[in-house]
Structure formats: C-alpha cells, structure tokens
Amino acid sequence: MERKIKVTVWNEFRHEKNEPRIKELYPEGIHGALRDALMECGDFEVTTVTLDMPENGLTDDILNNTDVLMWWGHMAHGEVSDKVVEKVRERVLRDGMGFFPIHSGHHSKPFRAILGTTGDLSWGANQQEIVWNILPQHPIAEGIPERFELTEEMYGEPFYIPAPDELVFASWFANGNIFRSGCCYYRGMGKIFYFQPGHEECKSLYNPYVRRIIRNGVRWLAPSDIGRADRGCIHQATSVLDDLKKEKENA
C-alpha cells in the first residue's frame, strides 16, 4: 500500500482569534477548514501549524517530514522569519516539496521568494465570482465542472507573477474583473499551485468544488516516489564524483 501524502497546513491564525464574525465562520481556524477538506479522503496525513508557534510552526522536524505545504496568510506576512522562508524555499527547490498558497498567500514571503515576484494584484469588495475550468485535462481539474460560482473577495489583473507554466482556472467577477485564479509552476525539483478562493469573510473553503480542488492540488503537488528515487541517485552520483576528485588530488 502506498503511504499517505504528508501535508502540513500553515495558517497565521490571527483573524479567527481577533474577529468574532471570522471565528464564527471558521471556529477551528482556517487551517481547521483546510484540514477537514483533506480528511474527507483517506490518502492524507495532515498536520496543522500556526504563525505564533515556535519557529513559526515550521521546525526542521516538521518541515523535513512534509510532502506538501499549504499556506494561508493575510495580515502578518512580515512576521514570518526570513530563516523559515529560506528553509521552505530550499525544501521546494532542492527536495521537491510541493507548495500550495491559498488566497492572500500570493503576498506570502515563501511565494515571493520561490517565484521572484512581488505578488501584487488588484482587489476589491466581496462579489459574485465565476471560476472557469480552462484546462479540464489537468489532474487538478479532475471532477470539476466547466464553471462554478462563489461569493469572494475580488482579485483582478494585472497580477504581477511570472507567466504560469500551466493555467488551470481563470475567474470573472461581477464588476467585470478577470483573474488567473489557478496557477501551476515547476521550480527546481518542486511544484507550486496558487489558488485564489479562500477569503476569511467568505464560505469558499466549504464549497465542495473548492474542497475537491484542494485535494486534487495536494495530490498533484506531492513528489512522486520515482522523483524521490531520482533525487537519491543524483545525491549518490554527486558523492561519487566528489570521491573521484579527492582521489585525483591525492594522487
């Protein structure tokens, strides 16, 4: 039997503590809603961590045992340690850990560091959003209809990110704005999937299509066993080359 995908859900966990209406909407925190979306299926092992935990919740032990890191942040991006950001970046680029920023995760330090972007965009009031499935053959789009509707905070173009390697979802908002709402990237040994729905004032994380996209996204982001074996071969080959170099120097 294949082992479960080890997912760490990171949440700054500030709105839910300080704003009663957000706590009422997400009584176990946004990280709790994301955890529950994953636990609807049996192929995930989920750990939740928050900003105010030691090392921002991402100790070496936790981070090194994470296949996919989900990230929700909004009002406290600047409080994330640069040391933690560099560890996340290295885990993605060198070790193939998947990175999954949700909603305002576009301004998170790890997202900006991995992609080399400001993550800036246009934004506005909560309104009707239509999420269009524009790459239905992609694994993340499995089981998702041609379109579905949400009430969400408006995010609009221009979105200052590198051109996605694969654009799975695009959105239209009632005020006329459009947005690249489901963006896939390949960086180093890892993959990144940015997904726009998930504003703290909205119920999007309870929507069945959003929850399915979350699960599909984690499965796509998870490094494969073949990938892990390849990385082991790469490290072994590097070690052999180093040994040969030393033998030549000592000859």
Give the torsion sign (CA, 13, 15, 17, 18): positive
User: What's the pLDDT score for residue 218?
Assistant: 98
**Higher-scoring residue by pLDDT: 42, 120:** 120
pLDDT above 60 for 151: yes
pLDDT above 60 for 100: yes
Measured CA angle at 73 (ends 70, 74), to 5 deg: 155
The rounded distance, in Å, linking the Cα atoms of 118 and 112 is: 6
The residues, any chain, with a CB within 8 Å of residue 240's CB and separated by 6 or more, are none
**117, 164 contact by CB (below 8 A):** no
User: What's the pLDDT score for residue 246?
Assistant: 54
**Which residue in 89, 77, 156 sits closest to 123, CA to CA?**
156
Helix, strand, or coil (residue 69) = strand
Average pLDDT over the chain reads 91
**Which residue in 104, 182, 111 sits closest to 142, CA to CA?**
182
pTM, entire model = 0.88
Residue 2 pLDDT class (50, 70, 90 cuts) = confident
Q: What is the pLDDT of residues 81-95, one digit of tens each?
A: 999 999 999 999 999
User: What's the pLDDT score for residue 83?
Assistant: 97
**Which residue in 89, 52, 83 sits closest to 69, CA to CA?**
89
Q: What is the pLDDT of residues 5-31, one digit of tens each?
A: 999 999 999 999 999 999 999 999 999
**Domains in the chain with CATH codes:** 5-119+181-250 (3.40.50.880)
According to DSSP, residue 42 is labeled: S
Q: What is the pLDDT of residues 219-244, one digit of tens each?
A: 999 997 533 333 333 333 334 445 44
